[in-house]
A and B are shown apart, each in its own frame.
Chain A
Amino acid sequence: MELLHFKKDIPFMSYGKLTTAISLLTFLLSVFFLFSKGLHFSVEFTGGTVMEVQYTQPVELNSVRSKLDGLKLGEATVQSLGTSRDVLIRLPNLKDRTSAQLSNQVLAALQADNTQVELRKVEFVGPQVGEELVTSGLTALVLVCAGIMLYLAIRFEWRFAVAAILANMHDVVIILGCFALFQWEFSLTVLAAVLAVLGYSVNESVVVFDRIRENFRKSGMRGKTTAQVIDNAITATMSRTIITHGSTEAMVLAMLVFGGPALHGFATALTIGIVFGIYSSVLVASPIALALGVKREHMIKPVKPKEEAVV
Chain B
Amino acid sequence: MNRYPLWKYLIIAVALIVSTLYTLPNFYGESPAVQVSTSRSAIAIDTALMDRVEKSLAAAKLPADGIYLDGNSLKVRFHDPDTQIKARDLIQQELGDNYIIALNLLSSSPAWFAKLKAHPMFLGLDLRGGVHFLLEVDMKAAVDKTIERYSGDIRRELRAKKIRYGTLKRVGDSLELGMRDAASLKAAEDVLARMLPNLTLKTDDTLNKLVISIKPEEFVKIQTDAVKQNITTLHNRVNELGVAEPVIQQQGANRIVVQLPGVQDTAKAKDILGRTATLEVRMVEDDPAKVAEAQSGLVPSGYELLDEATGRGGVQKILVKKDVELTGDNINDAQPGFDENGTAAVHINLDSAGASIFRQVTADNIGRRMAMILVEKGKAEVVTAPVIRSEIGGGRVQISGSMNPAEANDVALLLRAGSLAAPMNIIEERTVGPSLGKDNIEKGFNSTLYGFVAIAIFMLIYYRVFGMISAVSLAVNVLMLVALLSMLQATLTLPGIAAIALTLGMAIDANVLINERVREEVRNGVTPQAAIKAGYDHAWATILDSNITTLIAGLALLIFGSGPVRGFAVVHCLGILTSMFSAVMVSRGLVNLVYGSRRRVAKLSV
Query: Of residues 245 to 265 in A, which have CB atoms within 8 Å of B's CB atoms?
Result: 246-255, 257-260, 262-263
Q: How far is the CB of A309 from chain B (nearest CB, A)?
A: 38
Query: Within 8 Å of chain A (Cβ to Cβ): is B200?
Result: no
Binds A, one of B201-209, B373-381, B431-439: B431-439
Query: Within 8 Å of chain A (Cβ to Cβ): is B222?
Result: no
Give the contacting residue for B433; candidates A121, A191, A195, A203; CB below 8 A: A121
Task: List chain A residues, Cβ under 8 A from B568.
Answer: 189, 192, 196
Give the contacting residue for A107; candidates B267, B501, B562; CB below 8 A: B267
Q: Looking at A52, A119, A260, which has the most chain B CB atoms within 10 Å of its CB?
A: A260
Given contacts A203-B549, A262-B443, contact A270 B502 (CB under 8 A): yes
- Which residues of A line the B interface, CB within 8 A? 1-3, 44, 49, 52, 54, 98-101, 103-104, 107, 118-126, 128-129, 132-133, 136-137, 139-140, 143-144, 147-148, 151-152, 155, 187-189, 191-192, 195-196, 198-200, 202-203, 206-207, 210-211, 214, 236-237, 239-240, 243-244, 246-255, 257-260, 262-263, 266-267, 270
Q: How far is the CB of B553 from chain A (nearest CB, A)?
A: 3
Apart from A122-B429, A259-B498, list 11 A-B contacts with CB within 8 A.
Answer: A123-B429, A126-B425, A147-B553, A192-B495, A200-B506, A202-B553, A207-B513, A243-B462, A247-B459, A251-B505, A260-B443
Is the Cβ of B446 less than 8 Å from the Cβ of A258?
A: yes
Which 6 pairs between the two chains have the least Cβ-Cβ distance?
A199-B553, A251-B505, A126-B427, A100-B270, A254-B451, A248-B505
Given contacts A128-B427, A203-B546, contact A119 B266 (CB under 8 A): yes
Is the Cβ of B542 less than 8 Å from the Cβ of A247?
A: no
Is the Cβ of B498 less than 8 Å from the Cβ of A126?
A: no
Is the Cβ of A191 less than 8 Å from the Cβ of B426?
A: no
Shortest Cβ distance from A143 into B: residue: B556
Is the Cβ of B440 less than 8 Å from the Cβ of A262?
A: yes
Q: Complex: how many Å from CA A258 to CA B555?
A: 28
Q: Complex: how many Å from CA A247 to CA B503?
A: 11
Query: Within 8 Å of chain A (Cβ to Cβ): is B3?
Result: no
Q: Complex: how many Å from CA A187 to CA B274?
A: 28
Q: Complex: how many Å from CA A259 to CA B516?
A: 31
Given contacts A147-B552, A252-B502, contact A119 B431 (CB under 8 A): yes
Of the A-B pairs whose beta carbons lie under 8 Å apart in the complex, a sample of 25, sorted by A's number, is A103-B270, A118-B433, A120-B435, A124-B430, A136-B560, A140-B557, A143-B560, A144-B553, A151-B548, A151-B552, A189-B565, A192-B569, A195-B565, A196-B557, A200-B550, A203-B546, A240-B516, A243-B516, A244-B512, A247-B459, A248-B506, A250-B455, A255-B498, A259-B443, A262-B440
Given contacts A188-B564, A206-B542, contact A52 B436 (CB under 8 A): yes
Query: Within 8 Å of chain A (Cβ to Cβ): is B494?
Result: yes
Q: Looking at A100, A128, A211, A263, which has the most chain B CB atoms within 10 Å of its CB?
A: A100
Query: Within 8 Å of chain A (Cβ to Cβ): is B340?
Result: no
Q: Complex: how many Å from CA A4 to CA B519?
A: 12
Is the Cβ of A100 less than 8 Å from the Cβ of B274?
A: yes
- Which residues of B line the A interface, CB within 8 A? 126, 134, 136, 266-267, 270-271, 273-274, 425-433, 435-436, 439-440, 443-444, 446-448, 450-452, 454-455, 458-459, 461-462, 464, 494-495, 498, 501-502, 504-506, 508-509, 512-513, 516, 519-520, 538, 541-542, 545-546, 548-557, 559-565, 568-569, 572
Is the Cβ of B428 less than 8 Å from the Cβ of A247?
A: no
Task: List chain B residues, Cβ under 8 A from A99.
Answer: 426, 429
Is the Cβ of B563 less than 8 Å from the Cβ of A188?
A: yes
Task: List chain A residues, Cβ under 8 A from B432.
Answer: 120-121
Task: List chain B residues, Cβ under 8 A from A191.
Answer: 565
Is the Cβ of A210 less than 8 Å from the Cβ of B553?
A: no
Is the Cβ of B552 less than 8 Å from the Cβ of A255?
A: no
Give the contacting residue for B560; candidates A98, A139, A214; CB below 8 A: A139
Give the contacting residue for B444; candidates A187, A198, A259; CB below 8 A: A259
Give the contacting residue for B565; candidates A122, A192, A244; CB below 8 A: A192
Is the Cβ of B542 less than 8 Å from the Cβ of A122?
A: no
Task: List chain A residues, Cβ under 8 A from B452.
Answer: 251
Q: Complex: how many Å from CA A250 to CA B569?
A: 21
Task: List chain B residues, Cβ under 8 A from A133.
Answer: 562
Task: List chain B residues, Cβ under 8 A from A195.
Answer: 553, 556-557, 565
Question: Total number of A-B contacts with CB less than 8 angstroms?
Answer: 241
Q: Complex: how many Å from CA A202 to CA B512?
A: 17
Shortest Cβ distance from B268 into A: residue: A104
Q: How far is the CB of A51 from chain B (nearest CB, A)?
A: 9
Is the Cβ of B435 less than 8 Å from the Cβ of A118?
A: yes
Q: How far is the CB of B502 from chain A (nearest CB, A)?
A: 6
Task: List chain B residues, Cβ under 8 A from A270.
Answer: 502
Is the Cβ of A251 less than 8 Å from the Cβ of B451?
A: yes
Q: How far is the CB of B27 from chain A (nearest CB, A)?
A: 21
Given contacts A98-B426, A122-B430, contact A198 B512 (CB under 8 A): no
Is the Cβ of A258 less than 8 Å from the Cβ of B553?
A: no
Shortest Cβ distance from B514 into A: residue: A240
Is the Cβ of B451 less than 8 Å from the Cβ of A236?
A: no
Is the Cβ of B461 less than 8 Å from the Cβ of A1?
A: yes
Q: Complex: how many Å from CA A171 to CA B399?
A: 69
Q: How far is the CB of A248 from chain B (nearest CB, A)?
A: 4
Given contacts A118-B433, A136-B562, A202-B549, contact A262 B494 (CB under 8 A): yes
Shortest Cβ distance from A1 into B: residue: B462
Is the Cβ of A144 less than 8 Å from the Cβ of B495?
A: no
Q: How far is the CB of A205 from chain B (nearest CB, A)?
A: 9
Q: How far is the CB of A50 from chain B (nearest CB, A)?
A: 10
Q: Complex: how many Å from CA A123 to CA B436?
A: 13
Task: List chain A residues, Cβ under 8 A from B446.
Answer: 258
Q: Complex: how many Å from CA A123 to CA B125?
A: 12
Given contacts A143-B560, A207-B546, A254-B451, contact A128 B136 (CB under 8 A): yes
